[in-house]
A = this chain, B = another copy of it.
């Protein structure tokens, strides 16, 4: 049987989360997140985020979270600034546009936006005499970690956030893999500091220990009439308590970051293993996604033992590939992979 490094959503839920779902399974609670499990989980998340006034909402999946949040934040004449490589620009089947909004793209620097380029875009936009015929930049979207596993430094976020404040538009962070970023040695800020570095973000559950679920955390007052919008976007879970139970468990005793840290450690072993065998990553990622260019014969040999993702298309002699570890990754599997190089 092969070992798997395709992605971080191949397993179900972390056993502790699963156990809580099992323990509470036959309880009866009111729907749509009005239950006590949700209330308690929200309180725990506010605490972990260092601000008891934060606005917290649970949704089911990442694409629907992005499209609901972005739809909530933008006016009709506005679009969302994002890197060309942004998930919303590439891999969401046009979900943002299907809600009527344009994705305004800027160059990707290993998955990241350059604050200077955001600033210049906004300045140039309003300097253009015909700007009212164009889509206004209405918010900035980034991901942390990015789609390439890279991380913004605290200073980069502060600079980008200052650019957004100056333009009076919100900064939104897609945290589908937030745990794998915050628990990396390369992270120079904590979850508690995150709400001071942006206006709104989501804590990814699906990829970090939950069976499913994403948790939106926003500055108070930013999201208006968000409940009906969640419903309209088909993102409102009838049995809302399932999300409360899961996030409540993940935010008890630091489980969320603890299990994320494990994935990152496994990724670092994997990375060092490849480097030791003489391969250089084409992106230097400090998180749970690792990117290497492999000679095709090496890749093909590995593919006999393991599954992983071809990044782009197969090259003539060398091919880019991605290896991903999850909270459930086993060190022995990583070792088998390295041994197989």
Listed in ascending order, the chain A residues whose CB lies under 8 Å from chain B are 4, 6-7, 9-13, 15, 18, 21-22, 24-31, 60-65, 67-68, 71-72, 75-77, 79, 90-95, 97-103, 124, 127-130, 132-136, 206-207, 211-212, 224-225, 227-229, 231-239, 242, 310, 312-313, 328
Contact = CB atoms under 8 A, between A and B. Distances in A.
Residue among A90, A134, A207 with the highest chain B CB neighbour number at 10 A = A134
A58 B110 CA distance: 35
The list of the 4 closest CB pairs from A to B, nearest first, reads A64-B234, A12-B25, A77-B228, A10-B28
A212 B242 contact: yes
Nearest to A87: B133
Contacts of A60: 60-61, 234, 237
22 contacts: A11-B27, A12-B26, A12-B239, A12-B242, A60-B60, A60-B61, A61-B236, A61-B238, A64-B64, A64-B234, A67-B234, A71-B76, A72-B76, A92-B133, A93-B229, A93-B232, A95-B233, A97-B97, A132-B231, A206-B239, A207-B238, A212-B242
Given A11-B25, A15-B26, 10 more contacts: A9-B238, A10-B30, A11-B27, A18-B21, A61-B234, A61-B237, A76-B232, A97-B135, A135-B228, A233-B234
A133 B62 CA distance: 13
Contacts of A242: 12, 211-212
A97 B101 contact: yes
Given A4-B28, A11-B25, A30-B10, A135 B237 contact: no
Contacts of A68: 234
A133 to B, nearest CB: 5
A22 B25 contact: no
Contacts of A15: 25-26
A62 B238 contact: yes
A274 B271 CA distance: 61
A101 B93 contact: no
A228 to B, nearest CB: 4
Residue among A13, A63, A76 with the highest chain B CB neighbour number at 10 A = A76
Contacts of A26: 11-12, 15, 328
Contacts of A135: 93-94, 97, 228
B232 A95 contact: yes
Nearest to A8: B238
Given A29-B10, A212-B239, A228-B77, A234 B94 contact: no
A207 to B, nearest CB: 8
A110 B185 CA distance: 47
Contacts of A31: 7, 9-10
